[in-house]
Amino acid sequence: MKRIFCFVMICLFTVMISEGQACSVFGLKGETYCIVGRNNDWYFEDGLLVFNKRHLKKTAFVYYNQNAEKPATWTSKYGSVTFNMYGVGLPATGMNEKGLVVDASVLLNGKYPSPDDRPSINPNQWVEYQLDNFATTEEVIAHAEDLSIRPKVAGMPGIHYFIWDKKGNGAVVDFIEGRAVVSSGNAITVPMLTNNDYSFSVNRWKKKKNPEKDTGKSISRFISAADQISGASPTTIQEAMDFTLNVLDSIPSGLPTMWQIIYDPLQSRVYFRTKDKKGLKHVDLKNIDFQCNSPMLVLNITEPGQGDVSHNLKPYHREINRDQIQNAFLKTPFIKKAPQEVLDHRSMYPETYQCMGK
């Protein structure tokens, strides 16, 4: 029965990808700006901004009924803001107070290294681990293989990561054929990532040639955005912002674009808007109290408003997390019938954190 369940999950996940699971992210750097733009194309727009604290001791999340040996443990050095759909602690993307951005997206045909004796972590929490511990792209690269990534179901497509810091240093971490492949420095021909591995995407972009089967329009999206950003020359931060939003709007997708995010590491500011595009909201990390003895704050991404929405932040409690998880699972076709025990298990995870400082 377990093997049948795993096979069904893999098939459903593959169908989901073919229908257009499509996240696109790119970096843009100039004399007066250094930003990252991201489209999140998915089934629903529900989500939480989570303001993660410094000096929290954490043990890596373990999936319900999964036996995980040596889950990683760490204490966060930096505060961050993350965008979370499937539970606090399991983000899709985020930026920390040092200006480091880490963004995750599905990697078609990706494959993680086999389990070994390293401490383990799940693919989405790898994002939070980097934001908690490191300030620069160089540091992330140096520690990219410290942990063993533990997927929920063996054989499912992997996740790869786009890294960017406040100096405009970019990197991509792919997991291909059981090994980590890091592209950085001169190997970053264009700072862009969709759902194919970086080398394959760049090769197709240079040849201006889509594969016969462009799953989720991954290569189409890469070519579209790469063509625009490779020749970009905005001169001011406002021009760069406008340009980034125009690029995000122009990228083709399979599923509707639910979120658009712009990270500004130099100003410690995060901009975002949802599918209605009625207003660009923002929060300033420099105005957030990240000490762990103060309440963790969250914001529903769909809450109305525009401009600075810091006044709408609310103290975290389990019911907020549980409601978000419930909505996310119900609106995701291939997991909508997940047992309530799975949702409860996720909603309680932040209660395992322990404050280790002031």
Q: Which of 40, 177, 48, 205 is nearest to 114 (CA)?
A: 177
Cα torsion 232, 237, 242, 247 to 10°: value is 40
| Candidate from 15-29, 262-276, 297-311 with smallest mean pLDDT | 15-29
**Is residue 328 within a helix (H) or strand (E), and if so which, with residue range?**
helix 318-330
For the cut 80, the answer to whether the pLDDT of residue 2 exceeds it is: no
Are 229 and 247 contacting, i.e. CB atoms less than 8 angstroms apart? yes
Are 55 and 288 contacting, i.e. CB atoms less than 8 angstroms apart? no
Strands ordered across the beta sheet of 56-59: 73-75, 56-59, 354-355
**Is residue 105 within a helix (H) or strand (E), and if so which, with residue range?**
strand 101-107
The Cα 23–Cα 45 span in angstroms is 13
Please state the rounded mean pLDDT for residues 282-297.
Answer: 96
For the cut 90, the answer to whether the pLDDT of residue 6 exceeds it is: no
- State residue 178's pLDDT score: 87
Q: How much is the mean pLDDT over the chain?
A: 91
| Candidate from 14-23, 212-221, 294-303 with smallest mean pLDDT | 14-23
Alpha carbon distances (Å) from 130 to 73, 246, 275: 13, 29, 28
Count of CB atoms within 10 A of residue 203's CB? 14
Are 65 and 124 contacting, i.e. CB atoms less than 8 angstroms apart? no
- State residue 358's pLDDT score: 64
- State residue 14's pLDDT score: 38
- State residue 237's pLDDT score: 96
Domains recognised in the chain with CATH numbers: 2-355 (3.60.60.10)
Span 144-203, pLDDT tens digits: 999 999 887 655 668 999 999 999 999 999 999 889 999 999 999 999 999 999 999 999
Are 189 and 183 contacting, i.e. CB atoms less than 8 angstroms apart? no
Per-residue DSSP letters for 203-265? HHHHHT---SS-GGGHHHHHHHHHHHHHT----SHHHHHHHHHHHHHHS--SSPEEEEEEEET
